[in-house]
Structure 1
Amino acid sequence: MQESLKDKFLNDFEVNQNIAHKICRLYTSNKNDHNDLFQEITIQLWKNYPKFRGDAKFSTWMYRVALNTAISLYRKSTRTIKTHDISDVEFKIKSEDYDDTEEQQLKALYTAIRSLNDIDKALVFLYLENKNYKEISETLGISEVNARVKMNRAKDKLKKILNP
């Protein structure tokens, strides 16, 4: 029996939803903004899912949509996230509980990462997710060489922030 588009999306999303949570953690500083951004990323993923061709892994495509959503929302506003009403969506996604205490030891690193520009944040995030430079360049739409150069500069910036 063929899996419906909705069922396939739900399965793909549930398996990879921690990607969205991690991006929300990088681009927000409180639980309400985190939840709002997570909702907006979910909506953008669902709206764009019919365009997902499967040329790349779902997780790579999800990184790209989620990062673009986070970056564009913050560029368009002054740290205020505009969200869509999800009440018209007819399905429920089981959401993992977001446990902020689990990541307390990373607070200093996340604070430092938040001070970087949007592209550097995305680069560091993908690097911390153990993505190779080929995957990083594909996700961000830049050359592999450019990704390496930008990553080295971002590392230098983080070292200066964390070790003044």
Structure 2
Amino acid sequence: MSNDFYTSSILPHSGIIIKICRAYTDSQEDFEDFYQEVCLQIWKSRNAFQNKSKWSTWIYRITLNVCLTLSKKNNRKGYTMEKLPEIPEESKAFENENLNLLYDAIKKLSEVDRAIILLHLEENPYKEIATIIGTSANNIAVRINRIKKQLKILLDGKIN
């Protein structure tokens, strides 16, 4: 993967990649593996992008698909990949206790709800989230309200 492609096409969207990868991992090492695999898959499939959606929407879908696939693998021992560009510094999310509690709560959500709340936290409009998930914007609005209530119950009294 060229540094130019990474810098111009992936790095501007690293925030959502980081959030989604973090929500599907339990350690910094796994997080880094997921992040690098997402970057690799974006690079490998870059020529398949057909401009039918925004580049960011396409990246979200690849990231979700890679994370879901990797998280379903029971045994990733021996999992190797080539060295990719450095992961942005803000990805050291495992060091913040309150953030760890939030991600622990998010991990208790269904896969679809997890994806929805991560996209919402990235401040995507309901319409774009609906496009990514494959439902209506009204459905997303209702689900986000339910997810927030569920997270509040899970986190009540745990975060300062």
Match of 1:19 among 2, 16, 21: 16
3-state SS in 2 of match to 1:86: coil
Alignment partners' CA distance in 2, 1:96 and 1:54 = 27
Q: What is the Cα deviation at residue 103 of structure 1?
A: 3.9
Cα deviation digits, residues 42-89 of structure 1 (max 9, x gap): 122112211112333322211111012112322x334x44786433x8
Q: What is the Cα deviation at residue 145 of structure 1?
A: 2.5
Unmatched segments (≥5 aa) in structure 1: none
Letter in 1 for 2:85: I
Q: Within the alignment, does 1:113 sit opposite 2:110 as a pair?
A: no
Unmatched segments (≥5 aa) in structure 2: none
Structure 2 counterparts to residues 14-93 of structure 1, below 5 A: 14-74=11-71, 76-78=72-74, 80-81=75-76, 85-87=80-82, 92-93=84-85
My pick for the range that moved more, 140-149 or 119-128, is 140-149
TM-score (norm 1): 0.79
Letter in 1 for 2:46: Y
Q: What is the Cα deviation at residue 37 of structure 1?
A: 0.8
Instruction: Name the % identity.
Output: 34
Q: Within the alignment, does 1:130 sit opposite 2:126 as a pair?
A: no
Higher RCO (Cα < 8 Å, 6 or more apart): 2
TM-score (norm 2): 0.81
Contact 1:39 1:83 in 2 (8 A): no
Distance 1:100-1:149 versus aligned 2 partners, 3 A rule? closer
Distance 1:17-1:81 versus aligned 2 partners, 3 A rule? farther
Q: What is the Cα deviation at residue 121 of structure 1?
A: 0.7
Q: What is the Cα deviation at residue 7 of structure 1?
A: 6.8
